[in-house]
Amino acid sequence: MIGVAALWIGVLLLLGGFALDRVLSRSIVDNFDQQLEYVLNAMIAASEIGPDGEVRFSRPPADQRFLEPYSGAYFQISGKGQETFPSRSLWDRRLTADGDHQDVELHKRDSVEFQGEPLRILERDVILPGSDVRWRFQVAQSRDAIDGQIRELRTTLVRSFAVLGLGLLMLAALQAFYGLWPLRRVRREVIAIRSGAQTRVAEDFPREITPLVDEINELLAHSEAQAEEARRHAGNLAHALKTPLTVITNAATAHAGDLDSTVIREAAVMRRQVDHHLARARAIGRRASAQARATVWTSVQAVERAVTTLYDNVTIDIAGDKIAQVRVERQDLDEMLGNLIENAAKYGGGRVFVTVEPPQSGTVAILVEDDGAGIPGERRAELFTRGTRLDTTGKPGTGLGLAIVRDVAEIYGGKVALEESEDLGGLLVKLSLPEAPQGG
């Protein structure tokens, strides 16, 4: 920031100094020219033609420097074929006059025709009354005075702009230092959090930094919640596996005759628990992505193709909104819909109806209905208990389907409700998930 500020200040000061130098230098030269033009006009006004055709003054010039040799102020009147009338200050020198050049208008120029003495010359061609000769009037003065003023001006400008630039650079440095000071405080607070000295960033920051502090604190809270959730899941999994392992250990220690069936049974229980917690862990890990989104219709079609392959005697009908999107990872959406539709196909009477309702109040509802026997209202809550199965037909299953669907839906801020299907007469499962705005 300081480097960019220094570069920008330097460029602006250079441009400003150059422009100011041009303006002031031009002003000094113009003022010098105005004085010479006044003298030139006074010479022309005082000039007349003498009896011999030569030019003479009706009144002598007022500037005494014209009478002193090499004084730095000179004039000269010359005409083609006529004798030149120089000022005494020229002594043995003469100003150059281009005969082929006519200066009816005032002409200004710089000259170095006198060695070691640069000149500023103003000249004009005039035809005086009583003469047909075009006379050239020239007034010259040494540039030492104006060159000295310009040098002094430039020295002052360089010093002033250098001081100004240094002051602006120091101001920019101070502004950057004190402006970024709250970020140094944030850094110290984060170091303190990492060392365990505190758990949150302090709130007493300028309002420009407050949004950053709030986001850091929200991130810390989110991380703590995830860590606590992970610890809770690990504890739940450990507790869930402890009982089957104890049963297997006791049976093995006692050399029970049904050891093999006990191991198979308890291993199935452990597998269900592991599958359940793995599904939750995957959902929690993917939930952190703010870009999570999936098109419901596409997921329903994919699941429908897979389920009809497994259950060729089942008809699955799909209807509803084809473009609705939910803020859920596609893999998790497929897993939830797969559990619901497969359960409907497995335990229904052969017909499954899936409806994707249009988004309402930021929520997309997905209805899965079957034509099975249904489940009494007082027993529906039991379906969400891990490992609970109300089916007594002996069909394969883990008893975790709806529990996994509920847990994954809640992780994404959704919910699952069980109702009775009015059209098919069986169970209706309503899965509600947060909507992902179109084009987001």
Question: What's the confidence (pLDDT) of residue 282?
Answer: 64
Place 159 in a pLDDT band, splitting at 50, 70 and 90. very high
d(CA 211, CA 218): 10
194 pLDDT above the threshold of 60: yes
Question: Distance of alpha carbon 375 from its chain centroid, rounded?
Answer: 56
Place 398 in a pLDDT band, splitting at 50, 70 and 90. very low
- 193's CB contacts (< 8 A; 6+ apart) are 199, 200, 201, 220
Number of structural domains the chain divides into? 3
Asked if residue 179 belongs to a domain, the reply is: no
Is 130 found in the same domain as 40? Answer: yes
Question: What's the confidence (pLDDT) of residue 397?
Answer: 41
Tally of helices (H runs) and strands (E runs) in the chain: 8, 14
Q: What is the DSSP string of 177-194?
A: HHHSHHHHHHHHHHHHHH
228 pLDDT above the threshold of 50: yes
Which tokens is 230 given? 């992970």
Nearest to 80 by CA among 127, 133, 28, 123: 133
396 pLDDT above the threshold of 50: no
d(CA 370, CA 439): 34
d(CA 124, CA 128): 12
Reduce the DSSP state of residue 427 to 3 states and report it: strand
What is the domain range of residue 272? 210-286
Is 426 found in the same domain as 413? Answer: yes
- Among 106-110, 115-119, 193-197, 418-422, where is mean pLDDT lowest? 193-197
Q: What element of type H or E holds 365?
A: strand 363-370
Angstrom CA distances, 344 to 224, 366, 369, 409, stand at 38, 14, 7, 18
Mean pLDDT of 331-336: 88
- Expressed in angstroms, the distance from the first to the final Cα of the chain is 34
Place 279 in a pLDDT band, splitting at 50, 70 and 90. low
Asked if residue 326 belongs to a domain, the reply is: yes
Is 50 found in the same domain as 37? Answer: yes
Is 120 found in the same domain as 15? Answer: yes
Rg of the chain over CA atoms, in angstroms?
50
Which tokens is 303 given? 């699941």
Q: What is the DSSP string of 293-310?
A: -EEHHHHHHHHHHHHHHH
Q: Which residue has tokens 């000269």? A: 76
Is 376 found in the same domain as 260? Answer: no
Nearest to 402 by CA among 422, 424, 380, 432: 380
259-287 and 210-253 are packed helices; what angle lies between their axes, rounded to 10 degrees?
Answer: 180
> Do 137 and 166 form a contact (C-beta atoms < 8 A)?
no
DSSP state of 38: H
29 pLDDT above the threshold of 50: yes
Q: What is the mean pLDDT of the chain?
A: 84
Give the domain-ending residue among 116, 134, 150. Answer: 150
Question: What's the confidence (pLDDT) of residue 392?
Answer: 41
d(CA 343, CA 328): 21
Is 71 found in the same domain as 12? Answer: yes
